[in-house]
Homo-oligomer: A and B are copies of this chain.
Amino acid sequence: MKIAILGMGNIGGGVVDVIMKNAAGIEGACGQPIEIKYILDLREFPEHPLGDRIVHDINIIANDPEVSLAAEMMGGSHPAYDFSLLLLEHGKSVVTSNKEVVAKFGCELTRAADANGVHYLYEASVGGGIPLIRPIKDCLASETITAIDGIVNGTTNYILSSIAKSGREFDEVLAEAKALGYAEPNPSADIDGVDAERKITILTALMTGRLYTPEKICTESIRGVSLSDIKAADAVGGTIKLIAHSSVSGRKSDIFAAPCFVPYSSPLAHIDGVYNSVFVNASVSGQLMFFGSGAGRYPTAGSIVADIIAVANGTQRRAVPFEKADDSTLLSPNEHISSHFYRVPEALADAPEFSGAVCAKTGSFAGIITPPEAHEAAVLRAKSLGGDVSVYRVI
């Protein structure tokens, strides 16, 4: 099978490496050799052993009947989406690590794949190297997934677990994460939850078949998470993690990407550093969790190669295209039904609104409150008194 690589960056270069170094194993798994015929990039790579495969025009790939698959690792919406659509329309399967494109244009691309009898696969777009999309699809094949809770962003998980472990504040830990290469120079897409928002959009589409508009998902930054919050959470028996959540109940979807209180009884509370982990509630198989490297050159390349193999050896099943979800079925932030974790000034400790809370005094006062009605009263009271108040959903 002849394939094209779109984008020779960190992930794309990793995929080329893996295909070259692991040719025999991949041929065995595919039942045929995989040959990289083209590498699309703006740059030249004269020193690279496959430097002669570089092209700059997507039409060369689209119009070559020998090419049956392209791996898109360009990043960004455009031209990644346009190139993917063009190739699908030319009867080529596309596999991708580009969560932005899947989350924004998944309907169009899965529809184009279906119309042209080819595949649009995106194992590498969520959870990096973790086999996740395929097991969930296999599981979903006859079961209902009722809820997903994931730590799907390694940068923010590194920062939050570092605050907890080192006892330092957010800014200092973020600076260290940048120095170590775990955070981008402009870390907003990670820190402010945009990356997690895209990934939970994709996971929700796997659960329901419907793709929401990622920008409509309730998303909160981790910039406001303080060392005091994490210490208070620890005293109550949990920690703060950026959780991407999706559950569907009736016509309404409860979807968010936000820092949450995670009790230590949940395995998610113990996922530290740059790792990712996705917790799934399935109707027959029960609680499942998938853990691994959420990013990185080789883990992500491994997922791209797994998708290529599934197409090459013919075991990839045709998927039903995503439908556009009705964004008005999203619960608004105030409607989210869950318990809440509070850290409030000690002056509030005896307030009746907090009487149901599990209490822990750690300089400030912290506790957990259910149900949501009590939550609203507590927020009002806390705000009326002013001072330093933190509120997190409990998962």
Contacts and interface: CB of A to CB of B under 8 A. Distances in A.
Contacts of A310: 138
Given A134-B135, A282-B302, A298-B284, A25 B142 contact: yes
B302 A292 contact: no
A22 B271 CA distance: 34
Contacts of A288: 129-131, 290-292
Interface residues of A, number: 51
Contacts of A313: 141, 317
A206 B391 CA distance: 47
What 7 A-B pairs come out closest when comparing CB atoms? A29-B141, A289-B291, A284-B302, A285-B302, A129-B285, A270-B270, A288-B292
A138 B131 contact: yes
Number of copies: 2
Contacts of A134: 135, 138
A131 B28 CA distance: 23
Contacts of A317: 313, 315
Given A138-B134, A291-B291, A315-B316, A284 B267 contact: no
Contacts of A309: 138, 141-142
Contacts of A63: none
A135 B131 contact: yes
Nearest to A22: B142
Contacts of A286: 129, 292-293, 296, 298-299, 302
Contacts of A301: 284
A141 B138 CA distance: 17
Interface of A: 18, 22, 25-26, 28-29, 129-131, 134-135, 138-139, 141-144, 264-265, 267, 269-272, 275, 277, 282, 284-293, 296, 298-299, 301-303, 305-306, 309-310, 313, 315-317
Contacts of A316: 315
A275 B270 CA distance: 15
Contacts of A277: 267, 289
A22 B284 contact: yes
Nearest to A264: B270
28 contacts: A25-B141, A25-B144, A26-B142, A28-B142, A29-B141, A29-B142, A129-B285, A131-B139, A131-B285, A138-B310, A141-B306, A143-B302, A264-B270, A267-B277, A282-B302, A284-B298, A284-B302, A285-B293, A285-B298, A285-B303, A286-B296, A286-B299, A287-B291, A288-B292, A289-B291, A289-B292, A290-B290, A290-B291
Given A267-B291, A285-B302, 13 more contacts: A22-B143, A25-B141, A25-B142, A25-B143, A26-B141, A138-B306, A141-B306, A284-B298, A284-B302, A286-B292, A287-B292, A289-B289, A289-B290
Contacts of A129: 282, 284-286, 288
Given A25-B143, A142-B26, A309-B141, A299 B270 contact: no
A65 to B, nearest CB: 26
B298 A287 contact: no
Nearest to A143: B302
A154 to B, nearest CB: 12
